[in-house]
Amino acid sequence: MNPVEITNHYIRQASELMGLGSRVELLLLSAEAEHHVSVPIELDNGDVAVFSGYRIQHNSARGPMKGGLRFHPSVDADDVRALASLMTWKTAVVNIPYGGAKGGVACDPATLSAGELERLTRKFTQRIGSEIGPQRDIPAPDVNTNAQVMAWIMDEYSRMHGYSPAVVTGKPLELQGSAGREAATGRGVVHVVEQALADAGRSIDGATIAVQGFGNVGAHVALLAHRLGARIVAVSDASGGVRHPDGLDVPRLFTEFAVPRRDLAGYEDDGVRALSQEELLTEDVDVLVPAALGGVLDEQVAKDLRARMVVEAANGPTVPEADALLADRGIPVLPDILANAGGVTVSYFEWAQNIQSMRWTEDDVNRRLAQVMLDSYRTVRGLVEQRKLTWRTAAYVVGLGRVAKATVLRGV
């Protein structure tokens, strides 16, 4: 199954349960608009290169559409379409007033100079400049895009429409970015981990956690959970993994391997052993947090998995067959659309600050984030308990239900 089919599979499951009917289901699965643009730029050597850019706007029933913008060679319409739909359900699960969208440019930023990247970003912004906007569609950083790229988009869009910081989120703090956004996704994941452990009668203090992925999300999950007393017994990145049965020195790992990005394979410390990705995924821990790529939890991993629960920090880390197997084994999987929604939630806070020309403190942001994550977690848990659903199905029912209600209340 490709990413679109996987997302649609879960949506159909929820739709059937709610009895929405095939026509309303079709309406909810279809993207409102798909913009495919060509993005020509002049390279530093004087040649002209033309890139393919996309912005797919899935659903705006609950508000302006929201979703990341990625620069990656694998970007294509299918991929972007699935991710756009996922954003619709994610913003609905955490009940922030947004729809879903996603975009990207098919390019390899590693081969582009800073100047080329800026020209690419500005040209792409010109191409989609009439389709995005603070009350229409608000892009954010994603794979290979960052605060600087958002600053260029904001500047280019503002040239077209007047000063508009609220057109993108994930901006630098100096350009109306929000405090607390960098750590937001990881922080949201840790709120879910903490609450799920508490419901299982455990404290996060002393719980064992394995984190796959040590990028922005994984590193913040490890760091924040460590601060709450969790033992992070294993982490990994693309280069390999490290483990320590009593818990790794996460603050050291964070400052030496996450802030300046370095391969974890090079980490050495007393009692630290190397481990493979496969070993990490089947570690005997209280919580497994996949925080890297999609599709890593396949059927084999699901059979061998020894964690007591899985909390999905990455998008789509569990394939449907593995999802069903884990459900049979009674291992809860806290799904991506709930667990990793902290990022888009703080994006919403940034946008809310921008349109009011206000600035919140980091404490304000973190307090409100905790509240949103907790409320969403409890809403989903309510359905898990009352209707005996898996966490994933329950989360999709909440997301789909909110979008369906907004749709029928507004009228088709």
Partner 1 sequence: MGIDPADARAFPGFAQLDDRSIDDLRARMRPVRLRPGETLFHRGERNASLYLLFRGDVDIVETDGERAVATRRARTVIGELGLLLDVPRTATVVAATDVLCWEITQQAFSAAIERGEPWAARLALAVASELAARFVDVRSELTRLDATNGPAHRPAELEQLRNRLLAEWAF
Q: In angstroms, rounded to a whole number, what is the distance separating the alpha carbons of residues 258 and 265? A: 13
The nearest distance, CB 23 to partner 1, in angstroms, is: 5
Contacts of 152 (CB under 8 A, 6+ apart): 118, 121, 122, 125
**What are the backbone angles phi and psi of residue 71, rounded to the nearest 5°?**
-110, 105
Residue numbers at the binding site for partner 1 (CB under 8 A): 18-21, 23-24, 26-27, 379, 382-383, 397-398, 401-402, 404-405, 408-409, 411-412
The nearest distance, CB 409 to partner 1, in angstroms, is: 6
Complex with partner 1: residue 105 or 380, whichever CB lies closer:
380
Complex with partner 1: residue 41 or 383, whichever CB lies closer:
383
Q: In angstroms, rounded to a whole number, what is the distance separating the alpha carbons of residues 411 and 87? A: 22
Complex with partner 1: residue 19 or 330, whichever CB lies closer:
19
Up-side HSE of residue 408: CA atoms within 13 Å toward CB? 10
What angle in degrees, to the nearest 10, is found between the helix axes of 342-355 and 362-387? 130
Point out which residues pair with 209 in neighbouring strands: 232, 287
The nearest distance, CB 379 to partner 1, in angstroms, is: 5
The nearest distance, CB 358 to partner 1, in angstroms, is: 30
The nearest distance, CB 25 to partner 1, in angstroms, is: 11
Please, what sign has the CA dihedral across residues 102, 107, 112, 116? negative
Element containing residue 324 per DSSP (H, E)? helix 320-328
Complex with partner 1: residue 358 or 408, whichever CB lies closer:
408
CA distances from 15 to 40, 220, 383 (A): 42, 34, 15
Per DSSP (E only), the strands in 166-214 are: 208-212
Element containing residue 396 per DSSP (H, E)? helix 391-410
The nearest distance, CB 405 to partner 1, in angstroms, is: 5
Complex with partner 1: residue 92 or 325, whichever CB lies closer:
92
Quote the distance between the C-alpha of residue 309 and its chain's center: 19
Closest CA to 403 of 117, 26, 91: 91
The answer to whether residue 388 is catalytic is no
Complex with partner 1: residue 92 or 334, whichever CB lies closer:
92
Q: In angstroms, rounded to a whole number, what is the distance separating the alpha carbons of residues 395 and 409? A: 21
CA distances from 11 to 22, 100, 173, 274, 358 (A): 12, 15, 37, 39, 37
At position 195, the amino acid (one-letter code) is: Q
Per DSSP (E only), the strands in 148-271 are: 208-212, 231-237, 240-243
DSSP code of 297? B
Complex with partner 1: residue 14 or 132, whichever CB lies closer:
14
Active-site annotation holder among 66, 90, 102, 123: 102
The nearest distance, CB 199 to partner 1, in angstroms, is: 18
Question: Which positions are catalytic?
Answer: 102
